[in-house]
Amino acid sequence: MNRQILHIDMNNCFASIEMKLRPELRGIPLVVSASHDGRHGIVLAKSEEAKIFNIKTAEPIWMAKKRCKDLKIVEPHYDEYKKHSIWAREIYYSYTNQVEPFSLDEAWLDITGSTKLFGTPLEIANTIRQRIKDELGITVSVGLSFNKIFAKLASDIARPDSVNEIRKDNFKQIVWPMKISNMMGIGQASVKKLNEAGIFSLGDIAKTKREELEKILGSHGEKIWDQVNGLDNSEVKDFHHLDPIKSISHGRTFIENLDSKEEIRYVFHRLAQKVSRRLIEENLEAMGVQISVKDKDLKQESFQKILDYSSFSSIVLRDTALDLFENYKWDKSIRFLELRAINLTKDSNVQTNFLADFKDEDKKSKLDKAIFNLQNNFGKDMVKLGYSPDLDERYGDEKFER
């Protein structure tokens, strides 16, 4: 039996919801950004009218305004975006329990078993599209295909408020002429390697021998070959599926770039607290720490370190992040920082590691656990692992791109 997979993508999600909430914004070029002064910040989302000016997601606001001097900057309302995402999924679940969110505004649906109840795959796709429009007041692009990869590709090339289908009998004509970068899972580094080998289109990949692709990209090359030849068999995960947590991270993009070690230390202090709380919630400890740093020109570098012992302590996470930051050659202001707990485990090895001063580490962990319990019982503002009131005031939430 041919599988019937939908990929649904809310068109210009954040911008569309803002226009729904404020109809006077319709028809004008606008972007969503937490830019308080209209200069700093990055583009989180853009309207169709803004796309005409070639404005791109994640580019700096000042650059977008150079392309469109009348660009409207709108503050984000994440609570509204989350509500609309939940409402959309409620509609999806009325057709199938196999719904796999890909992001706040995207999801796959396996409707193979739904056709006897709700009609043909195209009828189901169009019904969902129309319900989202009528009930949520926004539009979606729907891709329909026989696997997840092509369903996503079909929605990517679909017009707003439409359904696009890629079938087994026409995928070669539609997919193979496309650029390599059009397909999900092929990043810039892979594109560069493939281009250097004379491979420029998805059809070029399909016609290259699998073993050649493996030489170029390793095991990832074989996976890509299967995908472009229509052999992807990955399942749409159902409602009850939970992937094992491989890492826990928090990162922030800043409205004002960071220029001092004092600011860097403070931000890692705050990020470590957030990661520590998540680790405690999931009953996990980290055996490693990774940081990512992006400068004002959006050049990014990452560093990581394996710990001598597992820990969920925010102090351990922060201090390790700061040690890793010493490897960064800092010659430009910093735009983004991320702290990631990696190599997660449920089995603490602090007590069995005789090389570590585990008594000191145990104290640090107990402090975080005590703060976690107090915050859960009395609210997150009841108690915090402090840094200094002065730094809280100078470098608080207003410096973050939300």
Give pLDDT tens digits for 45-95: 999 999 999 998 888 898 999 999 999 999 999 889 999 999 999 999 999
pLDDT for the residue 354 = 38
Banded pLDDT at 35 (limits 50, 70, 90)? low
- For residues 20-25, give the mean pLDDT: 95
% residues pLDDT > 90 (the chain): 67
Give catalytic residue positions: 106
Q: Looking at 234-243, 289-298, 345-354, which range is the least confident one?
A: 345-354
pLDDT for the residue 38 = 58
pLDDT for the residue 203 = 96
Task: Map tokens 């890492």 to a residue.
Answer: 247
Answer yes or no: is pLDDT of 386 > 70.
no
For 371, half-sphere exposure in the C-beta direction (CA atoms, 13 angstrom radius) is: 21
pLDDT for the residue 169 = 95
- For residues 145-156, give the mean pLDDT: 97
pLDDT tens profile 165-180: 999 999 999 999 999 9
Answer yes or no: is pLDDT of 273 > 70.
yes
Q: Considering the entire predicted model, what is its pTM?
A: 0.67
Show the domains of the chain with their CATH numbers.
Answer: 1-167 (3.30.70.270), 176-228 (1.10.150.20), 248-401 (3.30.1490.100)
pLDDT for the residue 37 = 59
pLDDT for the residue 213 = 92
- For residues 307-318, give the mean pLDDT: 90
- Between 246 and 173, name the one with better pLDDT: 173
- For residues 188-209, give the mean pLDDT: 94
Answer yes or no: is pLDDT of 121 > 50.
yes
56 phi, psi to nearest 5 deg:
-115, 145
- For residues 139-167, give the mean pLDDT: 97
Mean pLDDT of the residues in the chain: 86
pLDDT for the residue 281 = 86
pLDDT for the residue 357 = 43
